[in-house]
Chains A and B, each alone.
Chain A
Amino acid sequence: MNHIEGKTRRAFLQESGFWLGSALVVSYGGQLIEKAALAADAATFAPSLFIAIAPDGKVTLVCHRSEMGQGIRTSMAMLLADELEVDLRSITLVQADGDERYGDQNTDGSHSVSMNWTRLREAGAAAREMLVAAAAKKWAVAPESCHAQAGHVYRNASKKSLTYGELVAAAAELKVPAHPKIKADAQLRLIGTGQPSVDLEPMLAGKSVFGIDVVVDEMVYASLERAPTVGGKIKSLDSAAALASPGVLKVVRLKGIRKYTNNAVAVVAGNTWSALQGRRALKVEWENEAVSGSTELRAALEKSLESPGKNFRKDGDFEAQLQGAARVVEARYHAPFLVHATMEPLACVARVLGDDCEIWAPTQDPQGTLKDVAKLLGFKENKIKLHVTMLGGGFGRKSQPDFVLEAVALAKELGRAVKITWTREDEIRHGFYHPESTQRMTATLDKQGKVTGWRHRSAFTTIARLFDAGATEPAGFEMGMGCTNFPYHVPHVLCEGSSAPTDVRVAWLRSVCNIFHAFSVNSFLDELAHETGRDAVQLRLDMLEPYGIPEWDKKSTPPLDTGRLANVLKLAASQSGWGRKLASGTGLGIACHYSFKSYVAVALEVKMKGSKLQVTRADCVIDSGRIVNADSVKAQMEGSMIFGLSAALYGEITLKGGMVEQSNFHDYSLMRMPEAPKIRVQLVKSDAPPTGVGEPGVPSVAPALCAAIFQATGKRIRDLPVARHLS
C-alpha cells in the first residue's frame, strides 16, 4: 500500500493506492472525483471511493462484493461501522456496478474478507480521524482531546459534541491521513461478534430484489430453447405454432458463443408463462456434433491414470521407494460432474438502445461480464451500465457471463428491454459443471506401517479450458487445491495430473478441485489407518508432525501451518466424542482439509437402518484466522455441511451423447430437512490474518461420510455419489 503525505482529498483520490492498486487509479486520472457516484453531491464527505457521509449524517458504503448468501454485505458494513464509530444499522449499502475504480469485484475464491480486512478498516479509521480533526479545529483544541463515538465527535474534557453530519463540510477540506490508525483489538465493538444480516428485513418481507425479480419499463419476457449439446446447430425450425401461442410476440434465433453459450431459439412474450408455452410449441430439430458421454469420459480418465501424468510436485524419489517398499497400498476414487442448482435459476434483464446498454444481473463477476458484453456488442465498457442484484445462490455458477450474454444479444435484436428466465431444466442441462475426476492413490509403507512414499495421480476435466480452449492438462492452481499442497510429512511425494476432453463446459463450483482431492486424500488416509491397524485421527496427527510451516510452502502468504490443521482435527475429534463405543450399525468418520488458507475438520455420525442411511450428527471445526462476523462463519459451516452432503449423497450429472441426462430436482436430488443432521460448529480463536470461509467447509464432508459408512457397514465407497451404493 502506498502512503501519501500531506495531500488533499482530491489528490489523494486521484493518486493514492490507499484503496485501489495505483495502476487502476492512474488509468482514470482526473476523472476520478467527478465520476465517483458517492461524491456526486458537493456537500457530501467522501473520504474514499467506497464511503460517503452526507450532511444529515447518513453513511453510505459501496459494497463491491456480490451477495449470494455468504453475508458479505454485513461483514463489509461491520468492518466500516466499527472503525468509523457508527451504528451498523445506520449504514446504507450501495451495490457497486462493476466500475474498474472499485478494484477487483469478482466474488469468488473465498477472499472478500481477507482483501478488505485492512483496507476497509483503514478507510473507516481515516474518515474517523478526519471528522475528529474537523471537530478539534472548530473547538480550537488538539485532536487528541477529542474522540469519536456513535456518529458523534466528543470533546473529552467537556460534554460538547458535534454530529458527523455537522462535521462533514469541514472534514472534506482536510487532508486524508497517510497512516490512519485502526483500533486496537480491545476497542473493537463489532468485529468478531455475531451480527444478523443487514438485509434481513427486506428478505423476510419478500422485497429483496434478485435478478429474476427485476422489472423495467417496456420489458418483455423470454425463454430460450438451447441446442442440447455444445456446438449443436439448428437443422430445422418451425415456429408457426409458437407464434400462434397466446401472448407470444416473436421468435428469434440466437447464435451461440462456443465458449459460453449454445445456439438457441428465443421465444419472446408478454410474460414468462406465455414465453414458456410458446417455447413448448416450437418445432426444432438439432444437428449435434459427434459427442461422447460419461462412459467414454470415465474410461479416458481411468486410462490416463495408468501412465505418469504431468509432474506437479516431486519430493524425494517415490519410484525408488516403490521398488523396495515393505508394503504398497493402492486405491482409486471417482467423483462425478456436479451442477450448482442455485435456488434462483439464472435470469437477466437487458436493454440495448442505440449504443447504450443497461443490464440487471445476479452476477458474481460484474467486471468480467462487462468485458464480454462489450466484446459482443462492440461497445466501449463505459457505454454499458451493469446493476448487480442480490443473488439467489451463486456457488460459482453466476461467475459465468453466459446468461447475461444471451439477454444482451436478444435485447439488441429486439431493440427493447427483455428478461430471460432460465427454467430449472435449463439450469441443470446447460451448466458449467464441476469437473468429473478419477484419482489413483499409491502409498509405500515400511515394516512398521509408516507411510514412506505418497503418489497422487489426479485426472479430471480441466477448468483451464475456460482461459485456453486447447488446454489438455490440469493447471497448477487446480492441482494446488488439495493435491500438491498435501500437508502431511512424507519423505517421498509425487503429484501427477492428467486431463481428458469433455463436451460440456466445466468451471467453478464451491471449493472446486478441493472436492475430489480432499475426498481421495482423506479416504486413502482412512484406508491406510485401517490397513495398518491405527487410529484415523492419530495417523494424521503423526503425519502432520513436526507442526509448523513445511519447507515447500514457506513463500506463501500466509503459509500452511500443519499445527493449525492438527488443532482443528483434535478439536473435531474431541467434540464428536471420537473413540467412543458406537452402537451396531452406527459409524463415526472424520476428515480434515486445508483450503482457501483455512483449516477445517469434520466428523460425521451415521446410522444405518437396513440399507437406509441417516446422517445423525455433524461436528465441524474451522480455523479461518481473524473473524469479522462470527454468526456468518457459523452459518457458512452449517450450509457447507448440507451442501457437502447433497453432493456426496446424491450429486451426479451424467452425459449421453454429449447431453446431460438430469433435468430437475427429481433426478438431481438435494438434501431435505428430514435428512439433515444436527450440526455443531466450533470456531477457533485465532490472531492469524482472516482467510476463506464460504468454501473450505465443503471438502471434508464426503470423505468423513464415507469413513463413517465404512465403520457402520464395512463397505468402502470410493465412487461418488453414495446413494448409488445404497439400495
Chain B
Amino acid sequence: MIELTINGVARKIDATPDMPLLWALRDVLGYTGTKFGCGMSLCGACTVHLNGTPIRACVTPVSSVQGMKVTTIEGIAANHPVKEAWKKLNVPQCGYCQSGQIMSAVALLAQKHHPTESEIDQAMAGNLCRCGTYPRIKSAILEAAQKGSK
C-alpha cells in the first residue's frame, strides 16, 4: 500500500511499486483529468505537481511518491487566475493536452510571478499541443501573471 496526499486528501494506492503515478491516478483512483500522451516524458500531457513541482506522471513510479503531496488538474480551483485566463482567451481546442498545459503554467507562475515570454517558452517547451494553441497559452499565462499581481 502506498500512502500519499492527492489534492489535499490522504489516499492509499494498492498498486505494484513500478506502476507510474499516471496509471495509478487514472486507473486505480479515477483521476482521469491527468492524460496519457507518450509514456516517455516527451509531451507533458501527464503533468502533475509533486510537493508543488511539476513532474511527468508517466515516468514517475508510484512507489517514489510515498508520503508526498500530489496535485492534479482536479485540484486547481476553477477560479485560479490561470484557469480564469484560459477561459477569457478561450484557449483549448480539443482540450486533451490542456490539463498538462495548465499544470505547467500554474507551477511556472508560482515560481515566477512575472515571467518573460522567453521564460514562458522555456517552461512550456515540454508540453505538446497538436491543435496548436501555443499562442493563446502564452497570452493566457501573461494575462494570469498580470491578474495574479493585482
Please report A residues at the B interface, Cβ cutoff 8 Å: 67-71, 194, 196-197, 199-201, 203-210, 212-213, 215, 221, 246-247, 271-274, 277, 341-345, 390-395, 421, 423-424, 631, 635, 638-643, 646, 664-666, 670-674, 676, 678-679
Contact = CB atoms under 8 A, between A and B. Distances in A.
A723 B136 CA distance: 26
Nearest to B23: A273
A272 B42 CA distance: 19
B73 interface: yes
Question: Lowest 7 A-B CB distances belong to which pairs?
Answer: A206-B33, A642-B132, A392-B96, A69-B94, A69-B93, A206-B73, A639-B132
B102 interface: yes
A595 B10 CA distance: 54
A109 B64 CA distance: 47
Nearest to A618: B135
Contacts of B122: 674
Contacts of B125: 672-674
A211 to B, nearest CB: 10
23 contacts: A204-B86, A209-B32, A215-B32, A272-B27, A273-B20, A341-B130, A343-B35, A343-B97, A343-B131, A344-B96, A390-B94, A393-B94, A423-B39, A424-B38, A635-B93, A635-B133, A643-B130, A664-B39, A665-B42, A672-B134, A673-B125, A673-B127, A674-B118
Nearest to A676: B134
Contact of B78 (A205, A215, A394, A423): A205
Nearest to A270: B27
Contacts of A638: 132-133, 135-136
A670 B36 contact: no
Best-buried of B33, B45, B122 by chain A (most CB within 10 Å): B33
Contacts of A394: 94
Interface of A, helix, strand, loop or mixed by DSSP:
loop
A665 B129 CA distance: 12
A69 B138 CA distance: 19
Given A273-B16, A664-B40, A673-B138, A206 B74 contact: yes
Contacts of B130: 341-343, 393, 395, 643, 646, 670
B95 A392 contact: yes
Given A69-B93, A393-B94, A638-B133, A206 B39 contact: no
Interface string B92-111: 11111111001000000000
Contact of B94 (A207, A344, A646, A673): A344
A239 to B, nearest CB: 19
A552 to B, nearest CB: 34
A529 B123 CA distance: 42
Nearest to A424: B38
A207 B133 contact: no
A145 to B, nearest CB: 40
Contacts of A642: 129, 131-132, 134
Contacts of A421: 36
Best-buried of A209, A271, A395 by chain B (most CB within 10 Å): A271
B95 A203 contact: yes
A68 B94 contact: yes
B90 A197 contact: yes
Given A274-B16, A393-B94, 18 more contacts: A71-B93, A203-B98, A204-B78, A204-B86, A204-B87, A205-B74, A205-B78, A212-B32, A221-B27, A272-B26, A272-B27, A277-B18, A638-B132, A640-B132, A665-B40, A670-B128, A671-B134, A673-B120
B17 to A, nearest CB: 10
Contacts of A273: 15-16, 19-20, 23-24, 27
Contact of B43 (A200, A201, A665): A665
B35 to A, nearest CB: 7
B56 interface: no
A196 B94 contact: no
Contacts of B121: 673-674
Contact of A635 (B37, B42, B72, B90): B90
Best-buried of A203, A204, A274 by chain B (most CB within 10 Å): A204
Contacts of A70: 93
Given A273-B20, A665-B128, A673-B137, A204 B94 contact: no
B97 to A, nearest CB: 5
Contacts of B15: 271, 273
A641 B134 CA distance: 11
B34 A206 contact: yes
Contacts of B136: 635, 638
Nearest to B72: A206
Contacts of B132: 638-643, 671, 676
A235 B128 CA distance: 38
Contact of B16 (A197, A247, A664): A247
A131 B111 CA distance: 56
Given A200-B90, A642-B132, A674-B125, A392 B120 contact: no
Contacts of A342: 94, 96, 130
A664 B35 contact: no
Given A196-B87, A199-B95, A344 B35 contact: yes
B49 interface: no
B95 A390 contact: yes
A676 B131 CA distance: 12
A664 B32 contact: no
Nearest to B87: A200
B30 interface: yes
B28 interface: yes
A209 B95 CA distance: 10
A69 B98 CA distance: 12
B55 interface: no
Contacts of B28: 271
A423 B138 CA distance: 29
